[in-house]
A and B are shown apart, each in its own frame.
Chain A
Amino acid sequence: MSLHCHSRRPVRILLIERYGQYEVVTITGVVFSIGFWLAGEDGLAVLPWDYAPNLFTVIAHNTVRSAHRSR
Chain B
Amino acid sequence: MLERLRASGGPIRIERPSPQTNPPNAWARLRNSGDVGAEIVVAYDPADWPNPTQPDAPAKEVVLFRLFEHALALASGTASSEAAESTVSAIMETYLRERNGDAKRHGRMVQIRLSCRPGKEVNTLVFPYTVENPSGADVYVMDAMPTVDAATRRCRQSRVVPVIHGPGTDATIGRFIALLPTDRRVSMPVIPLARRLPHGQVRRAH
Residues of chain A touching chain B, judged by Cβ–Cβ distance below 8 Å, are: 1-5, 10, 13, 15-19, 25-42, 46, 49-52, 54-58, 63-70
Contact = CB atoms under 8 A, between A and B. Distances in A.
A33 B165 CA distance: 13
A55 B177 contact: no
A63 B189 CA distance: 9
Contacts of B157: 49, 51-52, 55
A17 B177 CA distance: 16
Contact of A58 (B104, B169, B194): B194
A1 B111 CA distance: 7
Q: Would you call the interface of chain B mostly helix, strand, loop, or mixed?
A: strand
Looking at chain A's contact residues, is the secondary structure mostly helix, strand, loop, or mixed?
Answer: strand
Contact of A31 (B142, B170, B193): B170
A15 B165 contact: yes
B141 A58 contact: no
A33 B140 contact: no
A4 B175 CA distance: 15
Contacts of B4: none
Contact of A26 (B154, B169, B189): B169
5 contacts: A1-B111, A31-B171, A38-B110, A38-B140, A42-B104
Contacts of B176: 33-35, 67, 69
Nearest to B155: A51
Contacts of B168: 28
Contacts of A67: 142, 176-177
B138 interface: yes
Given A18-B181, A27-B170, A34 B114 contact: yes
Contacts of A56: 140, 193-196
B139 interface: yes
Nearest to A7: B118
B191 A57 contact: yes
Contact of A30 (B137, B142, B173): B173
